[in-house]
Each structure stands twice: as C-alpha cells, then as structure tokens.
Chain A
Amino acid sequence: MAAPVNSVVKVLPEGSAVSITSFQRKTRGRLISIPGTRPSVQNGQLLVSTGVTSLDFLLGGGLAVGTVLLVEEDRYDSYSRMILKYFLAEGVVCRHELFVAAAQDNPDDILQELPAPILDDVAIHKPAEQPRLSCEPQNSLDAMKIAWRYQNLPKVQSALASSSRFGHYYDVSKTMEPEIRQAAKCHRFYLPEHPTQTSPIHSPMLESYSLLLKSLQEVIQREGFGVAGPMLKSRNILRIGLHSLGSALWGDDLSYHDNPKYRHALTTFLYGLRALLRSSLSVAVVTVPSHLIQDRALMGSITRLCDNAIALESFKGSERETNPLYKDYHGLLHVRQVPHLNCLASQLPDHKDLAFKLKRKQFSIERLHLPPDLSETVSRVSRGELAGRATVASACGSSTSGNKHLDF
C-alpha cells in the first residue's frame, strides 16, 4: 500500500509548498523524525501519544499532529483534568513544547500537578538528556546492579524499549519532579492576566477567545512550528492544552443562558483553532463542560469542529455508583467522533461500550462488556455446527433440534 502512495506524493509539484499542512505522509514523517512521534500504520500520519496508553489505542494509535481532541468534561472535572494532565506530562517527557491556557486555575497550578513518569522511563531520559540533575547519581547508586559488565549497554537497550513502546506510563499518586518539569519549555495563557476590553466591532468572537487565538498564533510563528515557515534543523511538536473552554469564566454564556448571546463564539474559535493547527506541527486537547450546555444541537456542532471527541461520564454523584454492574469502574467513556483524515475509511473502534477506571496509580480505559460477534471474519458454518453439536450433547430433544431447520 505504501509504495503507490509514496510515488504519488513525489509527483506533487514543489510549488504547492504553501498548501502543505501538517498531515504528513509516511515519507515526510520519516524525514522529520521528531522524538515522541511515530507514523500511523493506517494512513501514515504523524501521531503523538496522549499519555494514556489505552486512549491511544482507542484513537487508532495516537493523536494525529494537527488535530484537536475534544474531551467533554465529567461533572466534577476530575477525570477530564487528569486526561489533560496526562497529555501535558507526555509532552514534558518527550521534550515537546507546551502551551497551557486556562481561565479558572493558573496554568502553573495545572503544570505542578502533572503525574510522575514511572521510574524506568525516568531512567531512560535522565542519563541520556539530563546528566546534570542532582538526584540522578543517587538513583544510579541505589539501583541494583545485575552484572557490571553490562554497565555501558543500557543506553542502547533502553532506546529500543522506548521505540517499541509508544507513550509512557505515569504514576498519578505522585507529581512530577520540578527538575523534569522545568526542563520543558512551556507557554502560559492565564486569562485574568490578559485585560479584555469590549470590542466595538460586531464580531462573532469573544474577546477572550480572540486573544487566545492570537497568542497561539504568535507562539506558533515565533517558535517555528508552522509548516510553511523556514525549515529549522530540529522540528518539535507544540502540545496545546485548553482547559474548560465554554465555561462562564471565559466570558462565555453558553452554559447558563438558554439563548446565549455569544452562541457562535466557541464554534468560531474552534474553527480558527483548526485552521491554525492544520498548518503547524501542533496538537491540542480541549476540555469543554458539556453537561452545562443544554443545547444539544450546539454541542453537536462543537463536536463536528473537533477531530476526535470523547465524553467522560463519571459515576460520582449518580445512582450508578452503587450499581453492581459498574462496581469496577469510575465512569463511562463515550466516543463521539473519530477523525476522517487523509483517508476515506476512518479507524472505527471495535465497539462503543467503554468504561474508565482510576487504578491506584494509573488511569485506564477498558471495554465494559464484549460485543456480539458479528464480524465478516467469523465463519458462520462452524458456529452452526457448534450449536448443532451442543444440542446433540445436551440431548434435550426435539425442541432445540428445531433450530436446525432455521439454518440456511
């Protein structure tokens, strides 16, 4: 499959460089080779990990660079915030640049709560890229030595391990050490620090959103994330985390008005965000308190302007918490939308009955129950035979053997 696509890509004229967006074909993805990314097996797009391994699997391997993941918040914003923190923490570990915007909490507070990467991952990154850390020598002294002869080898081995596994594991019970955190370059946007003045122009956009969009564009242009810009020798990914867009603190009235004045502010912002991301090496996670937005049609158009959309429905405070069916889980996860990018057929999940749980150290998504087996690959004949054999074995007479007449 890859060969014809590659040859076709080469045919493209060089003059179309302006229209090139961040959806990388397989060939270009290999040329750039940014740490923490990999090409998709399905359509060759450049993927980054969300930090939650099971969520990556659900999204078809990871988030495609240049796309937006919409997370509909659960009622108390505890799990959606966790997904946002996972996403940012993965960026810190992969040395991507971050952009955090919030109106409620200071972005610094969000950054301080990032989960700690699990130790073997730290051991991979610290000696290779941060030899000057003070805590590092003690760690290596404490570590048990199996054979001193292999002391010089682990670098190669760990590199192999990290390349075969995409994304890292995190311990949510601990926060990331400040040394690791501060090594990552982070841009902050805290709305109260940006004075908004009501604009006289009749614009569909809120002032807060256009300020955010403007500062995003500045960062993308200044730090060279734009695809159309001059090719720097080392490209990097910008991870954008936008917290609780559409809430009242952003100046939006979607959540408390039946007939909001700024009805199109958020959708217009998301359109602009998509336009920015499509032409740059960046990827965004946006959380929206969707349970506050009563208008489902509006929520539908918000979803359609994002590429991936998932919704979290926590059991906290609902009667489902005590339901024995859900006793192992903390909430349900709904896949609202999967991306159709550069390909006709999208990667559809096997089934949509998914639940999430927060284990002691790890957030994970699991299937709630198995779906009925109705795929094209299943052989019907063997199942019919099995059923026939079962009736013979159980020997419960004519009532079940009647089923056989239904087989055709």
Chain B
Amino acid sequence: MYTELNSILSSTPDSFTQGEFILVSDRQSDASFLIHHFLSFYLRARCRVCFLGLVQSFSHYNAVSQRLGVSLAQAKEKGQLIFLEGLTESLSFLIPQETSTESQAMDFLRDPTVSLRHLYEFIRTSVSSSGGGGEGGAEEWGPPVLMVDDLSVLLSLGVSTGAVLDFSHYCHATVCSQLQGNMVMLVRCSEEEEVDDGDDEGSERLLRGLTHRCSLTLHVQGLPTGYCRDIHGQVEVCWRRRQGDAQNTQRKLFQYKVNDKGASFFARGTSSAVL
C-alpha cells in the first residue's frame, strides 16, 4: 500500500468507495506494482479478497506483500483471501493426465472456444460465500473484492476477446452491483499503439471495452521521451464519476518511481533526479 497513491485517489483502508471497478492497464511498462498496492490495500481494509493470480506464483505475491507489511499466507488461513493460482491449476489441463481431481475453474484451457463460465462460477461461489470458511463466524469481513492479474493472459491462452469481455461483465454485475464490492483488473497491452483498425481482436479491444465500463482507470506508460533509470514511467489516473445525469471525467498525470518497499508518485518533471 502506497500512501502517496492513497492520497491521490483520496481513499484510505478505513473509507473507500464501494462498488467501484478499477482498471489498471499498462503499455511499455509494468503496472503490476499497482496490483500489489491494491492487494495490500484491500487486505488492510478487512475486505474479503478473491485473487486470480494467473501470471505469477503464490510465493511471488506473498514475498512482495511481506515487504508491504501484509502476510498473504495468514490472510489465506483466516479465510480472508481466496487465491487461485493459475499456473499450478493450468498444468493438469496443458499436460493431460489420467488422474484429474482438479477444480474446473481453468477448464477453458482444454477448449478455449467454450466460455469462461467455470471461472466465473468459481468467483461467484468464493465471493458470495460470506465467511463460510471461518467456523462460528469468528471473523467478519467487509465487502468482497475481486482482483485479476492479469486479464490479457487469457487472450494469450486462446480465449476470444468477446468471451473475456462477457466474463468481466458478469463479474462486474455480481461483485460491484449486486454485492457492492470492488473489482480491480489488470490489462497489459502490446508495445506500440495499434493504428490499423482492421485487426480489431486482441488486448486493444479488451482495453477499450473495459475502459468503457470502469469507474477509475490507472494507465501506466513508459516515459514518452525514452528510458530513464530514475523515473520508471507515468501513470494517468482518470476518474469517471456519475453525478446525477452529468458524467464528469477528471484526469491527472503523475510520474512514478518504484523502489524496494513502495512507490513514489510526483508531478511531471519534479523527480529528484532532475531538480
């Protein structure tokens, strides 16, 4: 959890907006540091978190969260965190074996033309079961949070963009609208912006479709002027608030630097390296 980002987004673990869909995207840079921020943020806010870790192993997320002061292993034991480790789940589908006792959540790997229905079923049961793991209701958790890291890997695994958009719509309806929880999704785009409109399939289309639905976007980019060791890139924060009938959009641009135990955000051109 980065306090600077909290003050930018004007949210604290004690008070944050519910029913929000936060989209994190990146281009020519790595936005996964924001995923770690939101993971530790919601765990501290005592939310019940369902995390789809599709690209990294659990120990990776755990090691990073240790540095941010949150223990994933403990949260998992307490039933606060439900972690789906995509890498270990996928192996039994990619290498067919005789004994298959695994869950059905990743079964789109066997045949990607089928929808992501089982993955959604997994999310729905884990999100809506309110404290089923804790015996006697020892701990009461706040609103549910769904986090996905990252959504675009589903496209690499052969799922069509339409299916991923459907999936995210279902999740949005269940988590944000029905249960008044929050949702954080990461989409990673290819290096350069696609200018040709003929090939409309892929992460660009996914990004556009999700941007249309979300309430807050954090778009991470590399510096337009090129690589720099001391400024890792820029984040464009864009709020879309619906107040009454009018929809007002607000944009802010920050540069950031990730360090060992957090990240610092500053206005453009005010890095300590150039001042």
Contacts and interface: CB of A to CB of B under 8 A. Distances in A.
Contacts of B68: 344
Contacts of B59: 19-21, 23, 342
Contacts of A25: 63
A296 B109 CA distance: 24
Interface stretch (A74-82, A101-109, A284-292, A345-353): A345-353
Q: Is the interface of A mostly helix, strand, loop or mixed?
A: loop
B58 A19 contact: yes
Contact of A376 (B30, B55, B232, B273): B273
B157 A204 contact: yes
A278 B57 contact: yes
Contacts of B156: 264, 267-268, 271, 301, 304-305
Contacts of B113: 202
Contacts, number: 145
Nearest to B76: A16
A11 to B, nearest CB: 8
A5 B64 CA distance: 11
B262 interface: yes
A204 B189 CA distance: 21
B32 A279 contact: no
B73 A301 contact: no
A131 to B, nearest CB: 41
A229 to B, nearest CB: 14
Contacts of A205: 94
Nearest to A341: B60
Interface string B167-196: 000000000000000000000111110100
A21 B61 CA distance: 12
A296 B77 contact: no
Contacts of B259: 344-345
Contacts of B87: 271, 274-275, 278-279
A405 B60 CA distance: 51
A205 B191 CA distance: 25
Contacts of A300: 189-191
B95 A305 contact: no
Interface stretch (B11-19, B133-141, B223-231): B223-231
A246 to B, nearest CB: 13
Contact of B60 (A13, A204, A214, A342): A342
B36 A344 contact: yes
Contacts of A53: none
B11 to A, nearest CB: 20
Given A268-B109, A343-B67, A343-B260, 5 more contacts: A12-B73, A19-B88, A301-B152, A301-B190, A345-B259
Interface of B: 30, 32-33, 36, 55, 57-60, 63-64, 66-68, 71, 73, 77, 85, 87-88, 90-91, 94-95, 109-113, 152-153, 155-158, 188-192, 194, 202-204, 227-230, 232, 258-263, 272-274
Interface of A: 5, 8, 11-13, 16, 19-21, 23, 25, 43, 201-205, 210, 213-214, 217, 263-264, 267-268, 271-272, 274-276, 278-279, 296-297, 299-301, 304-305, 340-346, 348, 350-352, 374-376
